[in-house]
Structures are given as structure tokens and as C-alpha cells.
Structure 1
Amino acid sequence: MDDKRILLDYGSGGKASQRLISELFMHHFDNPMLTQMDDAAFLNIQGPLSMSTDTFTVDPIFFPGGNIGSLAVHGTVNDVAMLGAKPLYLSCAYIIEEGLEFSVLEEIVISMAKAAKEAGVAIVTGDTKVVPKGTVDKIFINTTGVGQMIVEDYPSGSKARPGDAVIISGTMGDHGLTILAQREGLTFDTPVESDCASLNGLTQRLIEEVGDIHVLRDPTRGGLATTLNEIAGQSGVGIDVEEDAIPVNDGVRSGCSFLGMDPLYLANEGKLICILPGDKADKALELLRSEPLGTGAVCIGTVTEDNAGKVILVTPLGGRRMLNMLEGEQLPRIC
């Protein structure tokens, strides 16, 4: 395409729109379902499904470890997978600000195609809208994911039981602090990078090779602390967490100390929480640590009958304090 910037004409539905679709989106997202160019995609799926939708408005749109395009794929793939499903298909819809550089949009689309291929999903339908300059900040992306359930008794936030082990797949707070640092032009002695990644390979192995997984969640907005509180409330149980057991990268720890933030409330985009019977914890940890995205997996606590609906943080000195849910927005537009 000859234009260096996105024009309002590209959202018109006419020839300019067709050029954008055929020369950019179809070129990079090419698959038999998408190339039919119908108003909807025909999906031949049998049995129960998992479905999730999300809209991504992250600022800045490029950051160490990814961009808004790869994040949109990873975020929706992970949400579908956390219910115990194999993600198969994605839709994507773009709201683009007039004047956005075409090269920027192309880089985002390329990264989406790469992320989708790595996750084993196909982008099968979508939509593009171009709005006048100033009515949206560069680009927003909505993605919807559909997956086929691979387990009948699927994981849910309401299924944590006393005696269960609480496992996380790695360090906390990487994505949230990376976005803040990039947005504000901050640098730290130890560089930080988003953990943005698709976790469906991990979740499928946990379900098929370990089994009896009670809860799977990805602690995104609100971080680990908020997500654990959600699970405790949904299940009507207490959760005790060992503060010393929670891994945090040195750059995130020092950055949070400098900024007065708590990494347990910062978003993650490539980590999961797995809650399962305590006697299966070792097997789950061994499996997770055998995968590149789970090498830092640790057991951080247990589910209890006490303090229903609450999360208790056990300090290194043996003290106990409430780890409350995040109140309000600590860091807007992190995903």
C-alpha cells in the first residue's frame, strides 16, 4: 500500500478498506476460514466450548517483551485456556486513529500473526474501524477467543478446597512494572520486561498429565493479591500465602521499592495460578518446571477452612496480615 498513514477512507467499507484487508490482514492472517471473506466464520466444533472476549488499550502500544498486538492474542488465549479448554479460534476487531503510521499497524499485525501461530490458534474473522484523529489513542484491539473443552470437570474459581496447594508459574509483577516504566520513561539498574505469553500449552499439560486441577487463573489486572481474593470469595475458603515463597524479579522488586508499589498487585500477562490437591503439588511443579514458561514455578501457600473469603499473608517472621483486594485502579491501561 502506498499510503504511509492510515486514512479515514480505510474504514469506509469501499475500495480503500478492501485494500487494507487484502494487503495487510489477509496477507498475515491467511487461513482457509478467513479467506472465505464471509460476514462470519464457519467453525466446525463439537461438544462444550470455552469463550472469552477482551479489549486491549495498553499505553504505550510497544513495550519490552511485546506490543498491543501480541498482548491481545496472549491475553485472550490465556482466558480461554484457564477454563480447561484448548483455544482454537480468535476474532479481532481494530479501532484505529486516523493518521496512525501504516508501518506501526503492520508491525502490530505481524506480531499478532506470530503470536497466534505459536499458540496454535487461527484468526478467522475480524473488523476494522478508522475514527477521526483524537477520538481514540492510536489503536484499540478487541479479541474474542473460542476453545474446545478438554476436561468435563473443568477448573473454576469456585472449586478451591481446603487442603489444596496454591502454585504460581513464576515471578510476579513483570508486565505491570514494564508498562509503567515505559510509559513514564523510567529506567532501573536491572532492566524489566513484560512476561506476555500464551499459556495454553502449560494448562493443557496440567489438565491431561496431572489432572484434578481445581482452579486455573492468570493474575492480570490487580495482580496476584486481587486474583487470590477473587478465588477465596468464589470458593468460600481462606488462602494462606507465604510471603517469602513468592518470586519477584530483582528489577521489579527494586522498581516497586523506589515507586512505593507492591508487586503483588501488579499485572502479569504470562503467569498462571494453579490450585489442586496438596498430594499432587509435586507432580504439577515438576511438570511446570520442565517447560520454558514454568521454570520458576513454586508453591506459595495452601487453601484453608479458616478466614473464608480472605487471603492471609504469612510474613518471614511468622506474622499474619490480611492481603486485601486492590481498591480502585493502581495502574490504568496496562492491557
Structure 2
Amino acid sequence: MRKAETVTFGGSGLDRAAWLRGKAEDLSAHMTDGSACILPIWRGKPLFASHAAAWVARGHPVLETAAETPVFLGLDEGQARFAADISAWEPETGDTPPAGVFFDPTEQRHPALPDDYRFAELRGVMADLTPRDAELVATAKAILGWHRSHRFCSACGQPSAVADGGWQRRCATCGTFHFPRTDPVVIMLITRGNKTLLGRSPGWPEGMYSCLAGFVEPGESLEAAVRREVAEETGVRVGPVRYLASQPWPYPSSLMIGCTGEAVTDEITVDPHEIEDAIWVSREDVALALSGEHPTIRRPRNGAIAGFLLANWVADRLD
């Protein structure tokens, strides 16, 4: 797919400089020479200023509650970029993030930062970020999320420590090395003639439908995962499957693998344990939804690969 990497988080050519990760002295030199930039993240929310990632220098007061050594993200035009988890900070004022909601609209402001700086849900900002900011923020959010959920060694249960610039955790007790994990998820544009198959999950906003998606299981190919997930969720059988594009998805740490598949059956039998509803939608109705003019189907969320796939299908640009 010619436009595959134009999807949000799709890659900006960031120099991840993996060769630097194991060189503690070199990373320390980058951190102390005054040119390094650090992205604070509070309980999964990156710091933004307007519609851009907001970076601070080493020693900034906002970093006082940083849990561990900042994670090295890479070199941006030669400038070292890091991320730090400051989730221990307790806001004195501001909205409390709601629990169990699809989207957290609250924003938190730190007293040591300018008024227009705020911690915000990435879903609400992602489509407005530059490609470079999007890649950096997605990387930072995903890897810091991994550190928060993998503080103990899975081999012996003892605490592990950050190593290799943040790209490993090491257990001093049993010597096990742990590496960040990315969960592969297939998301599929299933078509049959002039229509595509869309579904919705419980708890989604009213009128929100999307391409079907599901996690790839161990020992399973992408093609098999597409066919299995569609059959499990809707009863629809799928024939030929091909890859289209991928999108890193830091919610918390998935890789969305966009595929297209040709359905060989029409009848839908929804599994209520999997999804709430599924419908066939014509290309014309998808075009109306994309423009925000459909009477019952919401416009796809900006920045998500589902909308990217649907828009390219409507425009006949999948090749």
C-alpha cells in the first residue's frame, strides 16, 4: 500500500540510535550537556503544549517525582530525546480522571509549568501531532507503560531494574533479562462487493462502528487470525486475505496490522461475548460517515487506522 506509513504513529524516520542504549556514559553525557529534551508522562498522559508534545530540560521541577531513570527514545536531528514517568505527582486541583471510560476528557496542569501546558489523553490529540511528535509520544507512552506493569521479574518475582537506556529490565536476583513487548493485533477491512463489514464493542459512543479487530494468537499467521476473528465475532467466512498497512497503537502497547479480506458469506451471527453489533455498510454510506453526514454512523476517530483503511477503500487507493 503506497500510503501505508502516512497513518498516525506510522513512522517518521526517527533515529532510534539503538547503539547508544547500552552506553550509560554516552547517554549521561547527552543528558548533562544541556541539549537533551525529556517528555514527562503522568499516568499514561503525555505532556502537551497546544497540539505539540511538550519537552522539558533535565532538572526541571516537573521531573522531581520521576519514578526511574528516563527512557532514551532516540536522536531527533541529533538531539537526544527521553521520556520520564511522573505518575507519583498528585495534582492539587483539576478534574479527576474517570474510571473505566472509553475516553478521558480531563486535563491536568502542573504548577511548575506554563498555563498552556497540560497532561492530556493522547487519543484526543494524536491526529494533530506532527509525524515526528507522534512517533516519539507513541514510543514514550508504550515503553513507560511497559515499565509500570513489569516492575517485577516474571521468573522469580523479585523487583527488576531499568537497564539499557530503558529498553530492558534486569533482575539482580536471578539474572533474567526482560524486554518490551508489543502485542500484534489484526484489524481488517472485510469487503463483499460494494459493502464492508463493521462492528461495535459495548461501551462505545452511540453510533460508533469500526473495522473488526482482534489479537493474534500464538502459533497463528496473520491471515489465519483475520479469518478466525471475523468468524468468531460475526460468523462471516473470509477467503483471500492480504496485508495493507500497520500502525503502532500505544493503548497500551499494540501493533495494529491492517489487512483486507474478501468475505465469502453474507449472513451475520453476532457473538455477544465478542462484540455488541455488526453490520454491512455500502461504500456510499461509508463515504457519508467519513464526511460526518451519515444519520446513524459516527465519523471514524481521527488518527486511527480503521478510518485510514476505510478512507482509502472509499477512494479506491488500497493498492
Please give the TM-score of this superposition, normalised by the length of structure 2: 0.24
Higher strand share: 2
Please give the TM-score of this superposition, normalised by the length of structure 1: 0.23
User: Relative contact order: is structure 1 or structure 2 higher (C-alpha 8 Å, sep ≥ 6)?
Assistant: 1
